Amino acid sequence: METIKTETKQDNRNLSELVRKLIPFLGLIVMILVFQIAGDGKLLTRGNLTGILNQTVYVAIMAFGAVFVYSHGGMDLSYGGVIGFSVLISILVANTGVPFAVVVFTSIAAALVWFLLNGAVSIYLKVSPFITSLCIMYMCRGILNTVCATQKYSVPVYIYNYDNWTVKLIVLAAVYIVCYLLFEKSGIGKANKAIGGNPAAAQQAGVRVAQTRLIAYIISGITVGIAAVLLMVRAGSVSTSTGQGMEMNVITALVLGGVPLSGGSRVKMAGSLIGSFSVILLRNGLIILGVNERVIEGIQGLVLLLLVFLTYVKNKDGILK
């Protein structure tokens, strides 16, 4: 009798886990159906799909790296500011006539500096990553506003050669595969998830907590630098609004993809990809329905709040740890 009860409980847990994994996919399908019907078929037109995919690429690549940070229970709000800063530096370097490979390296290095600063301050100086990343976002935004206030910077003509779907899809697939292998199949991802589950237990099990968390920030910085290159190629210029609001898109993408912001073993890399499509689809669908852009931001904030409330696993340190 006891064996039957145990098997029943196990079956219920397996069913619950399966439903939890399917929810992000079902949510994406429901949104597609609702916006396609309510928008009189405008959602799935070729031009609109191209726009959705263009916006999804940047958010998805940043979300792949963000998974490492959020899996150990970290918090980062600097994505929008850092990607804007990286685009600015990349364009300034590109206009010196250097090879494109140097521009890519510069973009990654520019983003990496900020994420190393974020990680070092929050990990070794024990400052809340929420506060640290918020300060970094404002510093990057301040630099961008100062430099671009009176002059618009554009990319050299040759940069537009890289604005094609072959490049974007190859980069997207390559970044996802590398991040997937690191997160799901290597010790880096397992260690970050262990820290998110219980930092003290992870340390007792031999996990180097500080070093592991710093590696997560390094990976996230690299992905932001890569996303900045694609954004630069697509936009062709930089302004004071470049990257604005992307931090909300990244966080919402993770939550829509079923990634709990408290971290732990339930964090999956696939969720970041599904969530990235979902958040862009949500914004795009609301625009098709004629909703004002400012109202859309409010709706996105409400959706994020509700999802965090439903999925966040509370612990003694809370979301600001």
Q: Can you give the CATH number for the domain in which 212 is found?
A: 1.10.3470.10
pLDDT at site 320: 43
b/e map of 174-198 (b: 16 or more CB within 10 Å)? ebbeebbebbeeeebbbbbbbbbbe
239 lies in some domain = yes
pLDDT at site 311: 62
9 lies in some domain = no
pTM of the model: 0.89
31 lies in some domain = no
20 lies in some domain = no
252 lies in some domain = yes
160 lies in some domain = yes
CA distance 280 to 261: 19
Query: What DSSP element (H or E) covers 56?
Result: helix 46-71
pLDDT at site 20: 66
Name residues of the chain where pLDDT drops below 70: 1-20, 310-321
Query: What DSSP element (H or E) covers 237?
Result: strand 237-238
CA distance 115 to 137: 11
Residue type, 47: G
Task: Provide the domain count of the chain.
Answer: 1
Q: Which domain holds residue 242?
A: 49-311
25 lies in some domain = no
234 lies in some domain = yes
CA count, 13 A, side-chain hemisphere, 188: 20
**Which residue blocks in 245-320 are alpha helix, DSSP H?**
246-256, 269-288, 293-311
